[in-house]
Amino acid sequence: MKKCLVLTAFLLIGFKSFAQLLTLSGTITDEAGKGVPFATIYVKNTTKGTSANSDGNYQIQLSAGEYEVFFRAVGFRQDSRKIDLKASKVINIRLAAELYQLKDVLINGNGEDPAYAIIRKAIKKRKTYLNQVNAYSAEVYIKGLQKLLAAPKKFLGADINKMARENGLDSNRRGIVYLSESQSKVTFMKPDNIHEEMISSKVSGRNNAFSFNRASDMRVNFYANFEEWEGISNRPFVSPIADNAMLYYRYKLLGTTVENGETVNKIQVIPRRDYDPAFSGVIYILEDSWRIYGLDLYMTKKANLNFVDTLKVSEQFYPVSKNVWMPSTIRFDFTGGIFGFRIGGYYISIYKDYNLNPIINKKEFAEVLKITKEVNKKDSTYWNAERPIPLTSEETVDYQKKQILAQKRESKPYLDSLDRIYNKFKADQFIYGRGYSHRNRFSKEYYNFGSLLSSIQYNTVQGFVLSYNASYFKNIDSLTNRFVRLAANLKYGFSDHNIHGSLNGTTPVDKFIFGFDLGSDVVDMNNQQPFGKALNLNTSYSLYLRQNYQKFYQKDFAGISLSRRITGGWQAAFSTEFADRSWLNNTSNYSFFYQDSRQFTSNNPFSPYSNSPLFANSQAFKIGFRTTYDFSNKYETLPSGRRYFPSKYPTIGLSYTKGIKNIFGSDVDYDLLSADISKSNISLGFYGKTSFYVGAGKFLNTNSIYFTDYKHFNGNQLSVYEASINKFLLLDYYKYSTNTEYLEGHLEHNFSGFITNKLPLIRKFKLQEIVDVNYLATPSLKNYTELGFGLEYLGLRAMYGTSFINGGHVANGFRVGLRLGL
């Protein structure tokens, strides 16, 4: 491999010499001699350009010849130099402050600033420039840098000082925590098709890592009406030249200047209200063409940003043809902090070699991003030749220092030394903490054992239960993300004195994922797991409130499954299971409180005060088939394999379950066919996001069927619940399960702060308004409807719900939901 890299370096050097590429470099400073950070450099009548670094240093590779080179920076007068490049040359540039002059203008009777007339013309031309370019290709260089500006010495028991030293930070826990560069070739075609191929990638301190930089993530288009930056803000931000921009902005003309024969208007944009989803800053509009020449905008915490205090976006344009201007540089700067940590940094992208008439194969747009395992193998010789922005001295030191750390961190002795520390057994953690984990980082093997305290459960069927979990994980191929997983559970009921154990796992088999599940367990009669998987709610309600809503049966089982992606958005899975199901009675009557005033119900939800069995003991052999299609053919190719993107269209699913009699003594004989359609987070712009789920099914045959085979629903009768799109707020867990047919629908809309952001004081909490509508119809239930209203913050929601059957009011109540999938 090293020989290949050396050979590649020689070939690159030889090619450069053959093409006679020369370096134009220097430093761009202001009149006081201070470096001008991120100034833009571009060559007239070409699509070649670059940017200075944060110290004002620049370099650009050109063939020998005569050029006119322009040097631009926000707030400075543009400079240009005619250069006869016969050998590599150093040219330092000193930029003078730009003088934007206010002409004598007529103010109308309403005292309107002349900026408004300019903005109206820019708004009128917005769609023209939005749709002007049908397709293009370009090369993009991206650099990302994040620095830790401050940090506590300890956090949640962790020694931050030690972690800082191990990651190359200084004694004050400050320094670069992420530095990465990448180069990509990007092809675009209207309306929103993009294909990006990463050519090279470099991550400081991570020899085998691939950059997180994505040209698609850096794209902005202020000719669109708004910008949606998922995660940074719950709301989209209005462009200063959006169709409705006048409702969100005030404008002030700061002056005009002339550059390259073009009159540039400098306009200050000011949000009309502090908490509107609007930018502050400056936008530059060209006279007569009314296009964007550049912009320097920012947002602050007043706009209810998430995770960052200030986010600044700067964009510069330059002509790539007579009538078309394209971005030359896009830069994001940010600062933020939480829990005593402060972080800041920037991401900058530089575009060059635009082609407005690329040869396009429409099929290539199915692959949104391509990263091969060779892109991070480029050596320093390559980067020194290809890097358009010179490294600062701080960045150079970071690469050098962390290269040594990376070699150390990837060695077996170092990884083993970490494992020796991490793998020490700690009794307190094993009893009531996170349990015990044993790692072998070098061989990528992990063993996990749960804590004893978290293993304790309670229900009226088994009494106190020790439900202990252990798991094993082995990464067998890091590049393709293939792994083996095994998990085991052992249960003992202190009241019924029964032991149950189960084992399950998954492993890749060719293009399939093979799974198995076998053992004995006490499980919920409702297979939708309405009590959730993580909160252990039945234990809390039983012990503290003496309310045992959950009902159980014993299941001895063995099953296997096969699943795979057929193609694109089409996936399928097949499963089969044999199970012996047994009815169980309550064996415990214990609770902490209310022993004299409340009575536990029986394990029969339809006969709460009688121990009569709900179903006879039975055996069941079942096969199941499930297929889904989400209309998505877009994916990214990573060294670990393909990862498909969710579609903008709904996902449709089809399921079939067959209970087969007389195989292994099976007692069941039924057929259930069901279909569903769902979609999450459908963007409605300023009005939030909508999610929905609709499912319908019918039992084609019920010659022999038991309650555990019924179609069950994700009901809820508790004040606390795990929230999901197909969750009811008030529905009984078992009462409306059916063996005939059903229609189920759920609609949830998140207004993303559309209302609360308009309310003083309340807006600071970044609350999101939630509206739920849930519906269920079966032959016995007819029409059941729920309406829910509430607020959500960081995945925690408070809801008020009310329910109706055939229009008649049934129940209402408050619910607290937790979205654990966030």
Whether pLDDT at 332 is above 70: yes
d(CA 288, CA 510): 62
How far lies 570's CA from each of 63, 292, 653, 745, in Å?
Answer: 50, 43, 10, 23
Number of Cβ within 10 Å of residue 108's Cβ equals 11
d(CA 56, CA 513): 53
How far lies 540's CA from each of 143, 464, 551, in Å?
Answer: 50, 12, 15
Whether pLDDT at 22 is above 90: no
Residue-level pLDDT at 205: 79
Residue-level pLDDT at 820: 66
Mean pLDDT of 416-428: 81
Using H for helix, E for strand and C for coil, what is the string for 505-559?
A: EEEEECCEEEEEEEEEEEEECCCCCCCCCCCCHHHHHHHHHCCCCCCEEEEEEEE
Whether pLDDT at 4 is above 50: no
d(CA 737, CA 602): 18
What would you measure as the largest C-alpha separation in the chain, in angstroms? 99
Q: Enter the tokens of residue 194.
A: 């993009």
Question: Average pLDDT, whole number, for the chain?
Answer: 88
d(CA 495, CA 463): 5
Mean pLDDT of 189-204: 90
pLDDT per residue over 626-668, tens digit each?
Answer: 999 998 888 888 887 788 888 889 999 999 999 999 999 999 9
Instruction: Report whether 530 contacts 482 (CB < 8 A).
Output: no
- pLDDT tier at 348, thresholds 50, 70, 90: very high
Q: Identify the CA nearest to 754 among candidates 685, 680, 686, 682.
A: 686
Q: How many residues does the chain have?
A: 822
Q: Are strands 367-370 and 635-638 parallel, antiparallel or unpaired?
A: parallel
Q: Is 253 exposed, middle or buried (0-12, 13-18, 19+ CB in 10 A)?
A: buried
pLDDT per residue over 684-704, tens digit each?
Answer: 888 889 999 999 999 999 999
Q: Identify the CA nearest to 650 among candidates 715, 725, 713, 575.
A: 725
DSSP state of 588: -
pLDDT per residue over 262-305, tens digit each?
Answer: 899 999 999 998 888 899 999 999 999 999 999 999 998 877 77
Q: What is the pTM of this model?
A: 0.84
Using H for helix, E for strand and C for coil, what is the string for 582-645?
A: EECCCCCCCCCCCCCCCCCCCCCCCCCCCCCCCCCCEEEEEEEEEEEECCCCCEEEECCEEEEC
Whether pLDDT at 5 is above 50: no
Which ranges of 197-308 would DSSP assign to H, the alpha helix? 215-218
Mean pLDDT of 594-607: 94
Q: Which residue has the higher pLDDT, 444 or 603?
A: 603
Whether pLDDT at 89 is above 50: yes
d(CA 807, CA 788): 16
d(CA 563, CA 558): 17
Residue-level pLDDT at 13: 35
What is the CA 318 to chain-centroid distance, rounded?
Answer: 33
At 738 the three-state DSSP class reads: strand
pLDDT per residue over 143-179, tens digit each?
Answer: 999 988 887 877 766 677 777 676 777 666 788 888 9
Residue-level pLDDT at 104: 56
**CA 658, 663, 666, 667 torsion-angle sign:** positive
Mean pLDDT of 197-212: 80
Residue-level pLDDT at 10: 32
Residue ranges per domain, the chain? Answer: 20-94, 411-451, 452-586+618-667, 672-822
Q: Which residue has the higher pLDDT, 382 or 153?
A: 382
Q: Are strands 463-477 and 456-459 parallel, antiparallel or unpaired?
A: antiparallel
How far lies 344's CA from each of 54, 307, 746, in Å?
Answer: 14, 11, 41
Q: Which residue has the higher pLDDT, 339 or 44?
A: 44
pLDDT per residue over 401-417, tens digit each?
Answer: 888 777 776 777 777 77
d(CA 218, CA 214): 7
Q: Which residue has the higher pLDDT, 545 or 164?
A: 545
Instruction: Report whether 338 contacts 356 (CB < 8 A).
Output: no
20-94 topology per CATH: Immunoglobulin-like (2.60.40)
Residue 152 belongs to what H/E stretch?
none
Whether pLDDT at 346 is above 70: yes
- pLDDT tier at 100, thresholds 50, 70, 90: confident
Residue-level pLDDT at 7: 30
Q: By percentage, how much of the chain surpasses pLDDT 90?
A: 52
Whether pLDDT at 510 is above 60: yes
d(CA 624, CA 279): 53
